Amino acid sequence: MGKVITNRDEDYSQWYLDIVKKANLAQNSAVRGCMVIKPYGFAIWERMQRRLDDMFKETGHVNAYFPLFIPKSFLSKEAEHVEGFAKECAVVTHHRLMNDPDGKGVVVDPDARLEEELIVRPTSETIIWNTYRDWINSYRDLPLLINQWANVVRWELRTRPFLRTAEFLWQEGHTAHATSEEAYQEARRMLDVYARFAEEYMAMPVIRGVKTPHERFAGAVETFTIEALMQDGKALQAGTSHFLGQNFAKAFEVKFLDENNQLEYVWATSWGVSTRLIGALIMTHSDDQGLVLPPKLAPHQVVIVPIPKPNDELDAAAARIMEQLRKAGITVKYDQDRKNRPGFKFAEHEMHGIPVRIGLGKRDLEKNQVEIARRDTGEKSFVPMDNVAGYIAQLLEEIQANLFRRAKAFRDAHITRVDDFETFKQVLEEKGGFISAHWDGTTETELKIKELTKATIRCIPLDSEPEEGACVLTGKKSERRVLFAKAY
Amino acid sequence: MGKVITNRDEDYSQWYLDIVKKANLAQNSAVRGCMVIKPYGFAIWERMQRRLDDMFKETGHVNAYFPLFIPKSFLSKEAEHVEGFAKECAVVTHHRLMNDPDGKGVVVDPDARLEEELIVRPTSETIIWNTYRDWINSYRDLPLLINQWANVVRWELRTRPFLRTAEFLWQEGHTAHATSEEAYQEARRMLDVYARFAEEYMAMPVIRGVKTPHERFAGAVETFTIEALMQDGKALQAGTSHFLGQNFAKAFEVKFLDENNQLEYVWATSWGVSTRLIGALIMTHSDDQGLVLPPKLAPHQVVIVPIPKPNDELDAAAARIMEQLRKAGITVKYDQDRKNRPGFKFAEHEMHGIPVRIGLGKRDLEKNQVEIARRDTGEKSFVPMDNVAGYIAQLLEEIQANLFRRAKAFRDAHITRVDDFETFKQVLEEKGGFISAHWDGTTETELKIKELTKATIRCIPLDSEPEEGACVLTGKKSERRVLFAKAY
């Protein structure tokens, strides 16, 4: 296979695109900004979905499905929401094509113009709250804890596979509550679910925080976020959870009779993560040999490579090992390709980020052992045949833990406390990562810093301590530090 | 709860809509023809999805995801396909809204017109075969066995929840093969997977057959179908599998180097089932008390109702039973509602089609027994507490088998052999169901019969025997019987 991807040092952005391509994760389609998620990339998404779905259900949520299309007028009902989402979107104006009267092909039938244009959902608060009006009458109908797995479209100008695409796959939770407190707690709880998923399954450390008013979701009272750090020192927003107050209930007139028989507006949350997480996963762990996957999300946790190629004896030994592994709940595939040499195959499986490789050779078999290589460190060991499953079960846990440790060490080493603007700019340019600095709390200063440095306030960490200080730009009084970074 | 749905005898169509509504399966949305699938309806779909997905994977398929949008020009590339699908569809013409210069709200920005209109996929052959061109070079890249779970849009004029909606959820398999024979066998194999799913999981008997040329999928060489019979005597096409020959490979120039180094067009199949299956499920088993669900697809297989209402003692007994049941892999919920009376709850759980109800009363507890009622027959039995799980495990199997038996007896009783056109019309009007009759093999006759009777040829059954005969309409020579019916 040879050296087929750009090194991270040379060109991080190209390295990312090379991995997406060479690990068969995704590719651009004929439709601008829309990607094709290839089977191997989709297998990772399926594992993410399955686990997240389980976590949502464990916390009492159920799935439902709402329409792809949103009547144009709905978007205008929540004043801030329309500013945030009505601008770059896919607009359906007609419902029919006809044969081109002037020749070949088909054209839009001018007689099939819709009375009201439909927007392909960029997010579903409006259509869902319009529906919740029918579902909610009294406090007995609350809470509503509903999630939807769906595709959404935002007409992005600059796209990158997984990180920013016109169409993407996501889940969006939309819950309705009788009290402000309960809705607020729900938004916090789902942030914790996301953080746990990111850390335990993706092995990706995240900082939990609150967005500034300027960075809030359009229509939210408070936006919670989990922020991760990529290997190039840029931050990535990996998931958000919004406390929506009564904004959407008011926009769509959703009221309920409370226990005192008073009519009240309903309280709301929404929260979502998307296929963007696959981009985050790639950029957190992968290296110059290709993708690195945490065992808990790897489509195949183990690959067995017969050396130098398959034969009856090696096939039989592989079958025994596979049986051992499958009994232990470990996913494994056997490389049956007869054409390529082991070195080529090793490189290919490294490119695909398979956590553990078993080399199965005739001489090892005579010694009743196999060679086991781990993808994260490249280390190799010889392991007795009858202990392969036990050894690998433990090794997979160790790899999962090591990936998290390594990413966390990198992240922690890239949070820099800064107290003056010169250092701020220098750290941002030379070291990157998060900058923990004082900010005077105004959107004006936030935007000025962004203009001067391209850094944005990623969040006000939930665990931040009150600390008297002076804003890194204006010197005005500040009561706590916030985290700045350049971001995806 | 009382009598809340129309009887089937009175108005079958209204009965169906009543069940969809009262069993909380779905509702119409603010967007014409698009439905909201409510949590209970979606839970049934999730169970269908999970099982079908397992079956696809067991037969070697993997999932992927292709764009929602299809460039308008793609639809024109396959001559028959464009006739079938380009007509009633959602057309995206613009990518931006702007504030209405004349007042409130937003309007389409005339400057944001797309160079080429995009169609919201009605089916994905075109965009997928345009992608396969990049993926297929040699016979070593074949077969490609790919499935996609997705939403699709067809601008239907008359819609009914699940049965015919503008947007619906489905899966579409798209496979690519090196030989005609292999592709043909794949199309047949997936038809068998659908038939097995329908019969084993939905408890819905189906007839496997081939569509007439007139009823073929637009762009297919052969369309296989499974046809079910609803309780009102109308047929329902429950799934189709298409042998596409080289039509799409030719339209999108997808060639491969075969083992003899010859460049050949690739052979294709596609196959799909949709949320329409939920409509079929409702109309196969349900009755005047509401939904009836086969245990294998029921979100809750068992409900426990404390009589007359929850208290510590009953709660504790229910907890013990639930533990027993869950250990046996049976899904169960406990009705904790304190407000309504048992009679109301019984009706509600019947409406939702929960296969088994356990009544838990103080007097029964003293006798160390519970009352178990089955939804399909209404029969009740008293069962000793320590044998509840064993009894119910067997009962669920019996209910599953009984539903299939019952539906099959009805279906078999509604296949009528007819040899003259007067009887044809009479049977169609008075008895309904499938009519097995001779047909001269021409589209002209097929359309004439449809015009005269509204019956269509549902299929030429795969197991039909050659039989000399005379066409029921024209008297011309015929070599086998086909199945006619009015259909959804």
Q: Is there a single domain that holds both residue A227 and residue A267?
A: yes
Q: Which positions in chain A touch B72 (Cβ < 8 Å)?
A: 97, 105-106
User: Does some domain include residue B273?
Assistant: yes
CA distance A365 to chain B (A): 30
Q: Is there a single domain that holds both residue A223 and residue A182?
A: yes
Contact A117, A89 (CB under 8 A): no
> Per the CB < 8 Å rule, is A31 touching B69?
yes
Q: Which of A62, A87, A130 sits opposite B43 (nearest CB)?
A: A62
> Per the CB < 8 Å rule, is A72 touching B167?
no
- A138 Cβ under 8 Å from any chain B Cβ: no
Quick check: A403 pLDDT over 80?
yes
Contact B37, B26 (CB under 8 A): yes
Handedness of CA B83, B85, B90, B95 (dihedral sign): negative
Portion 4-33 of B in contact with A at CB < 8 A: 27, 29-31
Q: Is there a single domain that holds both residue A422 and residue A364?
A: no
- B89 Cβ under 8 Å from any chain A Cβ: yes
Portion 348-377 of B in contact with A at CB < 8 A: none
Q: Which positions in chain B touch A139 (Cβ < 8 Å)?
A: none
Predicted confidence band at A76 (pLDDT cuts at 50, 70, 90)?
confident
Which residues of chain B are under the pLDDT cut of 50? 1
Q: In what order do the strands lie in the sheet with B302-307?
A: B332-334, B302-307, B356-361, B369-374, B380-384
Query: What are the distances in angstroms from CA B142 to CA B53, B135, B262?
Result: 21, 9, 15
pLDDT score for B3: 59
> Per the CB < 8 Å rule, is B98 touching A87?
yes
> What letter represents residue B422's amino acid?
E
> Per the CB < 8 Å rule, is A39 touching B120?
no
Query: Could you give the 3-state DSSP secondary structure of residue B278?
Result: helix
Compute the C-alpha angle B210/B213/B215, nearest 5°: 75
pLDDT score for B350: 97
The CA distance from B261 to B263, in Å, is: 7
> Per the CB < 8 Å rule, is B104 touching A76?
yes
Tens digit of each residue's pLDDT (9 = 90 or more) over B42-99: 999 999 999 999 999 999 999 999 999 999 999 888 878 777 877 799 999 999 999 8
Q: Which positions in chain A touch B37 (Cβ < 8 Å)?
A: 64-65
Q: Is there a single domain that holds both residue B386 and residue B445?
A: no
Respond yes or no on whether the N-terminal peptide bond of residue B308 is cis (omega within 30° of 0).
yes
CA distance B233 to chain A (A): 30
CA distance A171 to chain B (A): 14
Dihedral, CA of residue B421, residue B427, residue B433 and residue B434, to nearest 10: -30
Tell me what percent of the residues of chain A surpass a pLDDT of 90.
93
Q: Is the ipTM of this complex over 0.90?
A: yes
- Interface A:B, Cβ pairs < 8 A: 183
Cβ-based neighbour number of residue B198 at 10 Å: 24
Considering its fold, how many domains does chain A have in total?
A: 3
Q: Which of A39, A97, A127 sits opposite B30 (nearest CB)?
A: A127
> Which one of B262, B285, B308 terminates a domain?
B285
- Using a CB cutoff of 8 Å and minimum separation of 24, what contacts does A138-143 make? A138/A256, A138/A257, A139/A178, A139/A256, A139/A257, A139/A258, A139/A259, A141/A256, A142/A176, A142/A177, A142/A178, A142/A256, A142/A266, A143/A175, A143/A176, A143/A177, A143/A178, A143/A182, A143/A186
Q: Which positions in chain A touch B127 (Cβ < 8 Å)?
A: 29-31
- A60 Cβ under 8 Å from any chain B Cβ: no
Provide the whole-model pTM.
0.97
Mutate to test the interface with A, among B28, B38, B92 (most CBs of A within 10 A): B92
pLDDT score for A3: 59
Predicted confidence band at A157 (pLDDT cuts at 50, 70, 90)?
confident
Q: Is there a single domain that holds both residue A221 and residue A192?
A: yes
Q: Which positions in chain B touch A71 (Cβ < 8 Å)?
A: 30-31
> Per the CB < 8 Å rule, is A106 touching B86?
yes
Quick check: A2 pLDDT over 80?
no
Give the largest CA-CA distance in chain B.
Answer: 81
Q: What is the mean pLDDT of residues A415-419?
A: 98
> What letter represents residue B15's amino acid?
W
The CA distance from B401 to B283, in Å, is: 17
CATH of the domain at A191: 3.30.930.10
CA distance A2 to chain B (A): 21
User: How, if at all, do strands A167-177 and A207-210 pair?
Assistant: unpaired
Q: Which of A67, A93, A96 sits opposite B36 (nearest CB)?
A: A67
Handedness of CA A274, A275, A280, A281 (dihedral sign): positive
Query: Could you give the 3-state DSSP secondary structure of residue A158?
Result: coil
pLDDT score for B444: 98
> What letter represents residue A447's amino acid?
L
Q: Is there a single domain that holds both residue A343 and residue A196?
A: no
Compute the C-alpha angle A386/A390/A393, nearest 5°: 140
The CA distance from A235 to A488, in Å, is: 6
Respond yes or no on whether the N-terminal peptide bond of residue A143 is cis (omega within 30° of 0).
yes
Q: Is there a single domain that holds both residue A436 and residue A369?
A: no
The residue among A385, A143, A404, A446 whose CA lies nearest residue A268 is: A143
Portion 144-183 of B in contact with A at CB < 8 A: 146, 150-151, 153, 155, 167, 169
pLDDT score for A21: 97
Which tokens in the block code for residue A13?
A: 């952005």
Scanning every residue of chain B, which has its alpha carbon at the shortest distance from the alpha carbon of A64?
A: B39
Predicted confidence band at A36 (pLDDT cuts at 50, 70, 90)?
very high
Q: What end-to-end distance do the CA atoms of chain B give, in Å?
A: 31
Q: What is the mean pLDDT of residues A301-311?
A: 96
Q: Which of B86, B97, B151 sits opposite A91 (nearest CB)?
A: B97
The residue among A266, A265, A244 whose CA lies nearest residue A173 is: A244
Q: Which positions in chain B touch A151 (Cβ < 8 Å)?
A: 68, 150-151
Q: Is there a single domain that holds both residue A389 and residue A445?
A: no
Q: Which positions in chain B touch A94 (Cβ < 8 Å)?
A: 90-91, 93
Q: Is there a single domain that holds both residue B336 and residue B244?
A: no
User: Does some domain include residue A452?
Assistant: yes
Quick check: A336 pLDDT over 60?
yes
User: Does some domain include residue A348?
Assistant: yes
Cβ-based neighbour number of residue B397 at 10 Å: 12
- Tokens 């108005």 sit on residue: B11
Scanning every residue of chain B, which has its alpha carbon at the shortest distance from the alpha carbon of A103?
A: B76
pLDDT score for A214: 96
User: Does some domain include residue A270?
Assistant: yes
Q: Is there a single domain that holds both residue B373 and residue B441?
A: no
CATH of the domain at B445: 3.30.110.30
Quick check: A80 pLDDT over 90?
no
- B79 Cβ under 8 Å from any chain A Cβ: no
The CA distance from A132 to A84, in Å, is: 22
pLDDT score for A224: 98
- A278 Cβ under 8 Å from any chain B Cβ: no
- B130 Cβ under 8 Å from any chain A Cβ: yes
Q: Which positions in chain A touch B151 (Cβ < 8 Å)?
A: 68, 150-151
> Per the CB < 8 Å rule, is B119 touching A105?
no
Q: Which positions in chain A touch B64 (Cβ < 8 Å)?
A: 36-39, 42
According to DSSP, residue A364 is labeled H
CATH of the domain at B304: 3.40.50.800
Quick check: A312 pLDDT over 80?
yes
pLDDT score for B96: 93
> Per the CB < 8 Å rule, is A30 touching B151?
no
> Per the CB < 8 Å rule, is A93 touching B98?
no
User: Does some domain include residue A2?
Assistant: no
Which tokens in the block code for residue A196?
A: 């746990």
CA distance B38 to chain A (A): 5
Query: What are the distances in angstroms from CA B356 to CA B2, B115, B303?
Result: 20, 58, 7
Query: What are the distances in angstroms from CA B335 to CA A179, B10, B286, B342?
Result: 25, 32, 22, 10
> Per the CB < 8 Å rule, is A62 touching B82?
no
- B94 Cβ under 8 Å from any chain A Cβ: yes
> Per the CB < 8 Å rule, is B68 touching A151?
yes
Scanning every residue of chain B, which has its alpha carbon at the shortest distance from the alpha carbon of A69?
A: B31
Q: Is there a single domain that holds both residue B468 and residue B390?
A: no
Calculate the average pLDDT of chain A: 96
Tens digit of each residue's pLDDT (9 = 90 or more) over A14-31: 999 999 999 999 999 999
User: Does some domain include residue A420?
Assistant: yes
User: Does some domain include residue A438?
Assistant: yes
How would DSSP label each residue in A282-342?
A: HHHH-BTTB----TTT-S-SEEEEEESS--HHHHHHHHHHHHHHHHTT--EEE---SSS-H
Mutate to test the interface with A, among B35, B37, B91 (most CBs of A within 10 A): B91
Quick check: A114 pLDDT over 60?
yes
Which tokens in the block code for residue A413?
A: 């080493």
Quick check: A1 pLDDT over 60?
no
Q: Which positions in chain A touch B119 (Cβ < 8 Å)?
A: 97
User: Does some domain include residue A290?
Assistant: no
Quick check: A105 pLDDT over 90?
no
Contacts of B233 (CB under 8 A, 6+ apart): B414, B431, B432, B433, B485, B486
Quick check: A423 pLDDT over 90?
yes
Query: Could you give the 3-state DSSP secondary structure of residue A8?
Result: coil
> Which one of B285, B315, B349 terminates a domain?
B285
Q: Is there a single domain that holds both residue A394 and residue A432?
A: no
* Structural domain containing residue A309: 302-398
> Which one of B370, B397, B424 terminates a domain?
B397
> Per the CB < 8 Å rule, is A63 touching B74?
no
